[in-house]
Structure formats: structure tokens, C-alpha cells
Structure 1
Amino acid sequence: MAAFGRWKAQRSARQDCSRRGALDERAAGVVRLLNGRAPFCTTSSCSGRLVLAEGGAALSAGIPKRRCRWLLVAHEPCGRADVMAALENATGNVVFKFEPFVLHVLCQELQDAQLLHSVAIESGFKNSGITVGRGGKIMMAVRSAHCLEVPLSHMGKLMVSEEYIEFLVHVANEKMEENARRIDRFYKRLEAALEAAGGVSSSPSTGTGQAHTVYVRRRKRRTARVQDVLPSAEGRNEELEPGDDPEGSLDIFAEITL
């Protein structure tokens, strides 16, 4: 598909405009593995993080997300002291979040997205899904519901005890560790699936034949619905704003259990 080749070339030439200016270390292996294959092009990613967000992405309904303030962003486990120090700067409504690994991948053919979706589901990313935009773009989102979001302060006043914050941090750190295990599983299974499929082939591997059959049946029943899905967005940064979901509701195949 010539159009896909142009889209991938444009994405590859685009400067990284994320806050970090580089890939998260834990997500870099998966991103490079996919971008090294002809049928795939990653558009955004985050390896998973702990966030203290104040403002729009916190509790204030109606306030644009872009007006939120990040008090703390950590891509590795943190401690109670880190959270308490960040809260000292709070003047509004603050939530504490754990956001798991997320990856958005532009795919050349639907079967490429199906292969990727099968691997994601098997690796524990049960909220993954596929969209087909009106312009023909096929976007696969690797996601999970392995999240945590708890309000901590209101108008600058801490509403919970330090003991509770210590408990939340412990829970969030456990989720971060499980998130890392899922990323490792995803990388290994993806590498094996791509090798079985011939490395850069657009055809699903024999190991995903059963999943492909399920997709075909579902796709026949949902053809009209698929065509009405909103097109995927371009120009998304690698590091997402708190609570952002760059590719909209990517849930066409998310309910399929393999």
C-alpha cells in the first residue's frame, strides 16, 4: 500500500516533541522491534507511569486537559516521600494515578493489526483494540485496564492521611512491576510471532490461525460499523497528557477473548 509507505515515512521524519524528547527506556525495545518491520509504524507510546496531576485532568470538570499541571511523573517505582514533596506545591484538586503501558501502532493491513492484537491479548493487555479510519488507516492500540486513580487533595487541602498515601504508593508500585512483566511478555511473544510470520510478512503466523478465524467471522458481521469509526489522529507526541487516549475509542475487537 503506497499510502501506508508515505504515512510511515512522514512519521519517521517527524521530530520527537514529547516532554522527554526520547522513548521511555522500557518501551523502546517494543517500539524499535515494530518500526523495524515494514507493515508497522508506532505513533505514540508510554511505558507506564505514576502521576500526580492537578487541575483539568484531576477533579475539575469542564477544564481542558491541557490546563492540568503535572506535579510528579515517574516511570519507575517511587516512594511516599516523593509524593508528599510534590503535594507541597499543590493549590488545587490533585489525583494520584498509575497509568499502564500504552502503544499505538499504524498497521499496513488488517491482518497485521490482528496479529498484533492477538499477541497483546495473550500478554495481558486485555483492553487492546483496532480501528479502521475513513481514510483507510488501520490503528492498533495496546492497552490494559491495569490502572489506579485516586483523589488526594481538594483546593490544596490534603484529604487523606500520609499512611493512606504510603499504602497507595505501595499498590501503585506493585502495578508498575506487573506492568513491566507484561511488557517483557509482549516483546518476547511479538518477536516470536513476527519471526513465525516471516519477519516482515503481512500474513498472520500459523500460531495465530485460530485468532484470524475469529476476526474474519467478527469482521463479516461488523463491516458497516468498522467503516464508521473515527479516523486515527496524527501528530501525537510520544508522552501523553494525563488521562489522554490519543486514538479515541479503539474497541472494535477489544471484547474478543482468544
Structure 2
Amino acid sequence: MDRIAEFRKWKVQCLSKADLSRKGSVDEDVVELVQFLNMRDQFFTTSSCAGRILLLDRGINGFEVQKQNCCWLLVTHKPCVKDDVIVALKKANGDATLKFEPFVLHVQCRQLQDAQILHSVAVDSGFRNSGITVGKRGKTMLAVRSTHGLEVPLSHKGKLMVTEEYIDFLLNVANQKMEENKKRIERFYNCLQHALERETMTDLHPKIKEKNNSSYTHKKQRNQEKAHGQCITKGNDKELENDDHDDIGINITIFPEDY
């Protein structure tokens, strides 16, 4: 069986399985994005989260316990208010922690080139911690993720360690991160549609593709020459302008065939 046929079969098998996530369904804010990717021959999604605010009770030795073993006191994919957190905190017996977890998406790609397209779109959309993994038999996965998360302990052994005013402040920060998260998802979805549309057009018109590739090569050479002549200080100044200070290079991990 050739790789394309194998990928197609694997995709059908994976998408036909039941959703085993805690929620049991795709989050509302990423439904269209997930459906769009799954309709493309070269992609399918394996997991996703639109971003959420969590209140976890980690037990007495909380920071040594994995999230899967925690008690979920509160979880929402929408902005959160202080009263909801205060009520949920009353159920905590151990070390309660407030978290904001940003959008994450795992996509299996038919080939490395497809993953590189998604990676470029993700980085341009603000998800600068995204990376590509090539595993057994050339299976290629892209993880779209960001680093603008938040994790703050609120109680210890069931006792609240902060003021309600501070909780209100934290929620304002978390809600702002949620709003930024939503904007990045929308930007990623819009840019992805345009990128794949351009890719389809170049596949249909080989001469256009050849011209684009030639232009890209010359542009890349010019950019490399320009970058070589710039001082380190300017590069550092530009890096400080990034809101996440993430590494925007393509992160590709290659595993051996027997991995």
C-alpha cells in the first residue's frame, strides 16, 4: 500500500473513533476549523482544545500530581467571573490552582510539506510554540500551541491563601488571555483558508507554482543576505516586540523507524 492510500485508511480509522476527551466533543470555538481540516485530503485532527480557564484541586501534595488525577472544581471555555471561582473554591480540600490553558491543536499531515504549510500559518497567527514531529514510517504531526498560559496557586490544604481582590485581578488577566486566544484562532483559521487556497491554485497551474518557487528562492536569498548584515542589537529589539517571546523557527523532531 502506498503512503497516500495508507494515510487515507488511517484517517478514516481515527476519525471514526469515539471522542474520548473529558468533554466528549469538539469545543464550539474550533468546530469550523477542525471540520475544515478534516475535509482536506492531506490532514486530519487527533485532538484539540479551544482554550479554557480551570480551577483544579491537586490534593495536599498538589504540585507533584498530574492534572488527570486532580479534582476539576471549575472548567469553562468562556470568560469567568469571581463569584464562580469563590463558590468552587469552597469544595477544595488540597492545593487549588487557577489555570488558563491556551488553544492547542494536533494535526496529522500526509507529508512534511503539508505540515510546513500549517506551521507557517500557525506562527504567523501568533502560535509561536508550534512544532512538527516526524515519527514511525514517516508519520508527520503538527502541534499548534502557544505559551500565553497562566497558572497560580490559590489555596493550600483547603485554606484560601489570597484575597478575593487578587482573584478578581487574576480573572481579568485570564479573561484577557482568553480574548487574545480567540483572536489568534480566528486569525489562524482565516490565514489557513487563504494559504490552502493558494496551494490548490498552484497545484492546478504548474507554471504558477514554478514561478512562485523561483520567486521564493530569490527572496529567501535576499533575506538571508540582508539578515547577515544586520547587527545583533536590532535582532534583539525585534524579538522583544513579540508578545510571547517564543521561538518562531520550525521545530522538527525526527524519530527513527523503530520508534
Length-normalised TM-score, structure 1: 0.77
CA distance in 1, matches of 2:258, 2:129: 18
Q: How does 1:17-32 map to 2 (within 5 A)?
A: 17-32=20-35
- Residues 19 and 200 of structure 1, relative CA distance in 2, 3 Å threshold: farther
Q: Which residue of 2 aligns with 1:45?
A: 48
CA distance in 2, matches of 1:15, 1:166: 38
Q: Which residue of 1 aligns with 2:133?
A: 131
Q: Which residue of 2 aligns with 1:159?
A: 161
CA distance in 2, matches of 1:27, 1:229: 33
1:150, distance to aligned residue in structure 2 (A): 0.5
1:166, distance to aligned residue in structure 2 (A): 0.3
Q: Which residue of 2 aligns with 1:226?
A: 254
Per-residue deviation, residues 170-199 of structure 1 (Å, max 9, x unmatched): 000000000000001000000000111118
- Residues 198 and 48 of structure 1, relative CA distance in 2, 3 Å threshold: same
SS for the counterpart of 1:130 is strand
Identity of aligned residues (%): 52
CA distance in 1, matches of 2:25, 2:66: 26
Determine if contact 1:38/1:200 at 8 Å carries over to the other structure: no
Q: Which residue of 2 aligns with 1:243?
A: none
Aligned-residue CA RMSD (Å): 2.7
Structure number with the bigger relative contact order (C-alpha 8 A, sep ≥ 6) is 1
Per-residue deviation, residues 177-227 of structure 1 (Å, max 9, x unmatched): 0000000100000000011111896x9x859957xx79xxxxxxx99x623
Q: Which runs of 4+ in 1 moved over 4 A?
A: 205-210, 228-231
CA distance in 2, matches of 1:185, 1:102: 14
Unaligned runs of 5+ in 2: 222-250
**Would you say 1:10 and 2:38 are equivalent positions?**
no
Residue 105 of structure 2 aligns with an amino acid whose one-letter code is L
1:228, distance to aligned residue in structure 2 (A): 4.5
Q: Which residue of 2 aligns with 1:217?
A: none
Pair member with larger Rg: 2
SS for the counterpart of 2:25 is coil
Out of 144, 147, 151, which is 2:146 matched to? 144
Determine if contact 2:137/2:257 at 8 Å carries over to the other structure: no
Determine if contact 1:42/1:103 at 8 Å carries over to the other structure: yes
**Would you say 1:180 and 2:182 are equivalent positions?**
yes
Residue 34 of structure 1 aligns with an amino acid whose one-letter code is L
Determine if contact 2:96/2:155 at 8 Å carries over to the other structure: yes
Q: How many residues align?
A: 217
Determine if contact 1:132/1:229 at 8 Å carries over to the other structure: no
